């Protein structure tokens, strides 16, 4: 039963990622908001299954909508890993953890994403970020640095909102859902 629930949480995480991204583009928000499911799965199931959720959601939307999304699975996977390890270490019940996660992800996601974007697209996205990228390219004179810095502000807002959204949902979940994550934390505490 537990194993089946884990599989279904991964499915739901991927679904939320895709639906979140769709709703974001439907409302024309200048954010991504397509990692909520990854963060939720990483908090509930731990780092490795969280990373699997992230990678599979990009692979799935790559297969169905646009194959160029598949290389960015790496970014989503890294997000799952980072959130999973932080949640394993600190729990996800206090108000500080989402801030830490938001700040770490705001650096880590562009750090992994910009090299891919520079290699595949020359650093361009075809969106509003390109204007900041162009301005930075004129002043900093380095392609990677400009692509990295241009992505930080959007990512910071995006990941903070996602982390707090998951935080409020996680706190409201019934205890039997939290068992999945708290049991793992206790096991780790016993081992150490």
Partner 1 sequence: MKSLYIAEKGGYWYKLPLKAKFFSLALLLLGILFSAHQTVLLFNLLVILLLVAPGSGGMVLLSRLKAFFFFGLFIIIFHSILNPANTIKVYFFGLEGALYGSVVAMRLIAVVAIAQSALITTPPKKIFLLFSSWNKDLGLIMFLLVGFIPVLEQELVNTSQAQQTRGLTWNNIIEKLIAYLAMIIPVIIKALYRAQGMAALLFLRGYDSQDRIMAKRSLKPLWVKGSRILIVFSLLFFLINLSLFAGLRLKVW
Residues that bind partner 1 (CB under 8 A): 1, 3-5, 7-12, 14-16, 18-20, 22-24, 27-30, 33, 36, 40, 56, 60, 62-65, 67-68, 70, 119-122, 124, 126, 130, 134, 137-138, 140-143, 161, 165, 168-169, 173, 177
Please say which residue, 107 or 173, places its beta carbon nearer to partner 1.
173
Q: How far is the CB of 42 from partner 1 (least distance, A)?
A: 15
Please say which residue, 1 or 189, places its beta carbon nearer to partner 1.
1
Please say which residue, 141 or 190, places its beta carbon nearer to partner 1.
141
Asked whether the beta carbons of 111 and 117 are under 8 A apart, the reply is no
Please say which residue, 176 or 192, places its beta carbon nearer to partner 1.
176
Nearest to 105 by CA among 69, 169, 156, 38: 156
What DSSP letter does each residue of 83-124 carry, written as one string?
HHHHHHHH-S-SSHHHHHHHHHHHHHHHHHHHHHHHHHHTT-
CB atoms within 10 A of CB 144: 14
Nearest to 36 by CA among 55, 18, 52, 48: 18
Sign of CA dihedral 126, 131, 136, 139: positive
Q: How far is the CB of 9 from partner 1 (least distance, A)?
A: 6
Q: How far is the CB of 169 from partner 1 (least distance, A)?
A: 6
Q: How far is the CB of 38 from partner 1 (least distance, A)?
A: 13
Please say which residue, 22 or 182, places its beta carbon nearer to partner 1.
22
């Amino acid at each position: 039963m537990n194993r089946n629930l884990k599989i279904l949480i991964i499915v739901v995480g991927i679904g939320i990622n895709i639906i979140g991204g769709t709703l974001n583009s439907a409302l024309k928000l200048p954010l991504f908001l397509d990692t909520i499911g990854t963060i939720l799965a990483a908090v509930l199931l731990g780092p490795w299954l969280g990373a699997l959720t992230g990678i599979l959601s990009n692979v799935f939307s790559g297969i169905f909508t646009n194959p160029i999304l598949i290389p960015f699975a790496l970014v989503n996977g890294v997000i799952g890993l980072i959130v999973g390890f932080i949640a394993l270490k600190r729990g996800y019940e206090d108000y500080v953890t989402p801030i830490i996660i938001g700040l770490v992800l705001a650096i880590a996601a562009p750090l992994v994403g910009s090299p891919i974007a520079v290699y595949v697209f020359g650093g361009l996205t075809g969106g509003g970020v390109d204007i900041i990228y162009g301005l930075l390219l004129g002043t900093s004179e380095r392609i990677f640095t400009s692509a990295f810095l241009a992505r930080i502000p959007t990512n910071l807002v995006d990941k903070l909102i996602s982390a707090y959204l998951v935080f409020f949902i996680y706190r409201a979940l019934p205890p039997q859902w939290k068992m999945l994550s708290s049991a793992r934390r206790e096991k780790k505490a016993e081992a150490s």
